[in-house]
Amino acid sequence: MSLALFDLDNTLLDGDSDYLWGQFLVENHIVERGYYERENQRFYDEYLAGSLDILEFLRFQLRPLAENDAERLFHWRDRFMEEKISPAMLEEARKLIAWHRSKGDIPVIITATNRFITGPIAVRFEIDHLLATEPEMKEGRYTGMVSGTPCFQDGKIVHLEAWLEEHGHSLEDSWFYSDSHNDLPLLRLVTHPVAVDPDEILDRHAGIEGWPVISLRQPSTSRHP
């Protein structure tokens, strides 16, 4: 069986779940608006530019998890899923996942966004395998720290290699779908790299390498590679 790897934010979703979570926290007065909006936008801009310091971002992004108990966080997350994530889930993404399943492929989401946010999203897409940045928990509370290597850029390869060894799979005839040039290290490893509504840098690389470019936002231009 072949692997079909999917980035999540701006690939399967019409939006970035990290950024949307920050918006949700601001809109519900869970964090201080001015500071959090400013920093959330700064980190997102740095991500798009390829200059994000992932550890600095995670200290910022995981702090609200450490400042609130799990019951309250899970209640907020349920609302976040309905208000922010459900409208962003792309129907063409569901169709693409279903196409791979029909071929006997194993779908896997691999994302830099932490598991607290992305776990329920993978469930909504009916994908059993999720590789994500892991927020640290101790005695039932989040610490605000990351556990292990962030699943970002080369860190995605670290997470994937561990998963491959654990599950006895390989990258033979593998696929990876992503919108972001931050995923170039992994795109270069798989058999079938596919750029999905790519950013400018990835679009340029896809053109040079001859990789397929598809859209999951515009049904008229969506197609299976």
Mean pLDDT per block of 10 residues along the chain (225 residues) reads 96 96 95 92 90 93 95 97 98 97 98 98 98 95 96 97 97 97 97 97 97 88 53
pLDDT at residue 50 in the model: 87
pLDDT at residue 113, as a whole number: 96
Task: Give pLDDT, residue 225.
Answer: 62
Determine the pLDDT at residue 152: 96
- Confidence at residue 220, expressed as pLDDT on a 0 to 100 scale: 54
At 198 the pLDDT is 97
- Please give the C-alpha separations between residue 101 and each of 7, 28, 97, in angstroms, as whole numbers: 17, 38, 6
- CB within 8 Å of 210: residues ≥ 6 apart: none
How confident is the model at residue 224, as a pLDDT? 54
141's tokens: 């509370």
Q: Determine the Cα–Cα distance for residues 91 and 108; give it in Å rounded to an integer.
A: 17
Given this model, what pLDDT does residue 221 score? 53
Q: What is the pLDDT of residues 63-95, one digit of tens each?
A: 999 999 999 999 999 999 999 999 999 999 999
Length in residues, the chain? 225
- Enter the tokens of residue 225: 């590679």
What pTM did the predictor assign? Answer: 0.94
Distance separating alpha carbons of residues 12 and 215, to the nearest angstrom: 10
Is residue 128 annotated as a catalytic residue, yes or no?
Answer: no
pLDDT of residue 138: 94
For the chain, how long is the longest CA-to-CA vector?
A: 50
Catalytic residue among 9, 16, 18, 179: 9
Let me know if 78 is a catalytic residue. Answer: no
Domain boundaries, the chain: 3-14+89-214, 17-86
pLDDT recorded at residue 166? 97
Catalytic residue among 7, 105, 197, 199: 7
17-86 in CATH: which number? Answer: 1.20.1440.100
Assigned CATH topology for domain 3-14+89-214:
Rossmann fold (3.40.50)
Strands (E), 44-163: 106-114, 129-138, 141-147
